[in-house]
Amino acid sequence: MTGLGYTLPAVLSVAAVVVAELAWLRTGLFRWPAYWITLAIVSAFQVPVDGWLTKLSAPIVRYDPAHHLGPRFPLDIPVEDFLFGFSLVTATLLAWLCAERRAERRTTSREEAHR
């Protein structure tokens, strides 16, 4: 399972989030400029923090080389970390949007019941 222990779940997490949005939830999130700006802001913080945690010269977090593909960019960050970051942020935003939709439906239903 060389290279797949961390890489495969990272890739699958991205696929799961994208498929959930495009095939099931259909919130339109990927069309919002604010979403892409959000990802840029998250990355702006992720790079220095993750780079500091994973720097090869004095790592705080160590990755078994047998479980990821190996490319690290920038600042020695395993590329898989960005895939998980995308999935985590996107899944959270999708969950918020779905909760907001449910709340709006409940409010609309109550208003219609009182008419």
Statement: residue 114 has pLDDT above 90? no
Cα gap 81→87, rounded to integer Å: 10
Cα gap 67→57, rounded to integer Å: 20
The 10s digit of each residue's pLDDT in 60-104 is 999 888 888 888 989 899 999 999 999 999 999 999 999 999 998
Statement: residue 19 has pLDDT above 90? yes
pTM of the model: 0.87
Cα gap 62→82, rounded to integer Å: 16
